Amino acid sequence: MSGQKQAEEAIVPSFNEASEHEEKEEEKGDHSIFSVKSLLWHGGSVYDAWFSCASNQVAQVLLTLPYSFSQMGMLSGIILQIFYGFLGSWTAYLISVLYIEYRSRKEKENVSFKNHVIQWFEVLDGLLGPYWKAVGLAFNCTFLLFGSVIQLIACASNIYYINDKLDKRTWTYIFGACCATTVFIPSFHNYRIWSFLGLGMTTYTAWYLTIAAFVHGQVEGVTHQGPTKLVLYFTGATNILYTFGGHAVTVEIMHAMWKPQKFKYIYLLATLYVFTLTIPSAAAVYWAFGDQLLNHSNAFSLLPRSGWRDAAVVLMLIHQFITFGFACTPLYFVWEKVVGMHDTKSICLRAVCRLPVVIPIWFLAIIFPFFGPINSAVGSLLVSFTVYIIPALAHMLTYKSASARQNAAEKPPFFLPSWTAVYAVNTFIVVWVFVVGFGLGGWASMTNFIKQVDTFGLFAKCYQCPPSPSSKHH
């Protein structure tokens, strides 16, 4: 036993032995309930990571992609999805490389991560110093905060299509209370069943949208004029940038794995699967409704009410609850570290400590209930840096010296065997995303966002709701 304990704390450059030992210890500890607990609760395999990445990647953006297609046209929509999908997979790969570099360096210094979840800002701090930590923390936390806000807005927006007796703002109050229960889920280890269900739900919804659009057929006098304005084109483009920028939680998902080195290509495989959901559904809905989508950022609003649609709405609601947990869990970790509660074993104590994180999210969802425009604004101003620019720059700076490249824990991938090629790809990503994503996208999405505030006002009671029958009579 003591020998095993020493092995657990040993310097493990490959750091999978420690994880295996931890697993064996847990298996011994609660063997009676192990099978059930393992099946539903305790995930750390390659498959769990794949489900987590795929279900976390698409979520409610699935419903806004037809809106993006109407802004930028069918061809641009499909090309940019594929382009940003591969770009996102590459930066997720870079994040995984930097995580492995950081962890192997720390474990050579005999640091144990037994009760500590490594986060992206700590990786930046360990490899590049405190300034990078501050930048990473600021962008990541703001992005995750607004990512959680978007989930709440989306919940209210979706439930309204089943029950419009309450306005969307009231639904936001109700779902805020429901989503607050995610404080009880300790870490990404415990999302096994949720990730699996989440992916099933988005798969159903995507194929429902595709089939329902074809069954419905094209509306009378349908037009497909997009793109007509640069503002709309770049707003749509940043929403797609946001779709494939769901990896602000990559490090936390990796840390929950028993063998994090296996993460390398998981994000790419998840993205390839997500293409089978996003491209057919967005193309089919745009084909059927055309430019009507410009005033309907949620695809559910145009499809006729049916049992199939209600099922899709309910499944997306449950999925948004899961995605809220995904986006909020890293924020919970950060807050726990700030108040010194991160090592606490008690789930209830940690849950109470996490509650202050949910309150501002709830409040922001009530102030800015603009579902489609907020996606684009978050995409251009936050995702562009958090998910694309910072990982590419951090990778280049970490390996700028010859000795760092020589001692790298992970060498360049087989399809780009030279460091020069890796640097070239990273430089392209930084320049492209800064100019197109942040610059043009930021201008377009903020113009669009301000227009929504001017049209609907803050604290809008029912954003993009059809007029009620009573108001039509007046």
Supply 444's token pair.
């377009």
Give the pLDDT band of residue 457 (cuts 50, 70, 90): low
**Contact (Cβ atoms closer than 8 angstroms) between residue 371 and residue 157:** yes
Alpha helix stretches (DSSP H) within 160-191? 168-179
pLDDT above 70 coverage of the chain, percent: 84
Per-residue pLDDT, averaged over 169-174, amounts to 81
Per-residue pLDDT, averaged over 361-369, amounts to 79
- Report which listed range, 12-16, 124-128, 159-163, 467-471, is most confident: 124-128
Does residue 258 sit within a domain? yes
Question: What is the Cα–Cα distance from 27 to 33, expressed in whole angstroms?
Answer: 9
Amino acid letter, residue 346 = S
When comparing pLDDT for 341 and 474, which is higher?
Answer: 341
The count of structural domains within the chain is 1
CB atoms closer than 10 angstroms to residue 142: 15
pLDDT above 90 coverage of the chain, percent: 29
Tens of pLDDT, residues 63-110: 889 999 999 999 999 999 999 999 999 999 999 999 999 999 988 888
- Report which listed range, 27-31, 242-246, 372-376, 428-432, is most confident: 428-432
> Whole domain around residue 92: which residue ranges?
44-150+190-207+221-300+370-456
pLDDT above 90 (res 427): yes
Give the pLDDT band of residue 33 (cuts 50, 70, 90): very low
Question: What is the Cα–Cα distance from 282 to 15, expressed in whole angstroms?
Answer: 42
Per-residue pLDDT, averaged over 2-31, amounts to 40
Predicted local confidence at residue 5, as pLDDT: 36
Predicted local confidence at residue 380, as pLDDT: 82
Give the pLDDT band of residue 424 (cuts 50, 70, 90): very high
Tens of pLDDT, residues 194-227: 888 888 999 999 999 999 999 999 988 888 887 8
Per-residue pLDDT, averaged over 397-420, amounts to 90
Q: What mean pLDDT is reported for the chain? A: 81
Nearby residues of 150 by Cβ (< 8 Å), 6 or more positions away: 60, 371, 374, 375, 378
Predicted local confidence at residue 32, as pLDDT: 42
Of 89-93, 264-268, 320-324, 433-437, the poorest mean pLDDT is in 320-324
Does residue 344 sit within a domain? no
Tens of pLDDT, residues 111-140: 888 778 888 999 999 999 999 999 999 998
**Contact (Cβ atoms closer than 8 angstroms) between residue 119 and residue 330:** yes
pLDDT above 70 (res 23): no
**Helix 307-339 vs helix 168-179: crossing angle, to nearest 10:** 50
**Contact (Cβ atoms closer than 8 angstroms) between residue 33 and residue 246:** no
Predicted local confidence at residue 216, as pLDDT: 92
Residue located via tokens 């649609």 = 309
Does residue 348 sit within a domain? no
pLDDT above 60 (res 468): no
- Report which listed range, 158-167, 247-256, 305-314, is most confident: 305-314
| Distance, CA of 130 to chain centre | 25
Predicted local confidence at residue 391, as pLDDT: 95
Does residue 267 sit within a domain? yes
Question: What is the Cα–Cα distance from 271 to 15, expressed in whole angstroms?
Answer: 27
Of 1-10, 288-297, 451-460, the poorest mean pLDDT is in 1-10
Does residue 279 sit within a domain? yes
DSSP 138-167: HHHHHHHHHHHHHHHHHHHHHHTTT--SS-
Tens of pLDDT, residues 328-364: 888 888 888 888 877 777 778 888 888 888 888 888 8
pLDDT above 50 (res 165): yes
Does residue 241 sit within a domain? yes
Give the pLDDT band of residue 9 (cuts 50, 70, 90): very low
pLDDT above 60 (res 40): no
When comparing pLDDT for 9 and 288, which is higher?
Answer: 288
When comparing pLDDT for 401 and 112, which is higher?
Answer: 401
Does residue 74 sit within a domain? yes
- Closest by CA to 6, choosing from 103, 116, 110, is 110
Question: What is the Cα–Cα distance from 33 to 39, expressed in whole angstroms?
Answer: 10
- Closest by CA to 187, choosing from 236, 253, 231, 285, is 253
pLDDT above 60 (res 7): no
Predicted local confidence at residue 461, as pLDDT: 64
Question: What is the Cα–Cα distance from 408 to 89, expressed in whole angstroms?
Answer: 21
When comparing pLDDT for 161 and 78, which is higher?
Answer: 78
Does residue 347 sit within a domain? no
| Distance, CA of 120 to chain centre | 14
Tens of pLDDT, residues 251-260: 888 888 888 8
When comparing pLDDT for 434 and 192, which is higher?
Answer: 434
Predicted local confidence at residue 470, as pLDDT: 44
- Closest by CA to 267, choosing from 92, 470, 428, 463, is 92
What is the reported pTM?
0.84
Tens of pLDDT, residues 54-63: 888 877 778 8
- Closest by CA to 409, choosing from 111, 118, 96, 130, is 96
Question: What is the Cα–Cα distance from 417 to 411, expressed in whole angstroms?
Answer: 8
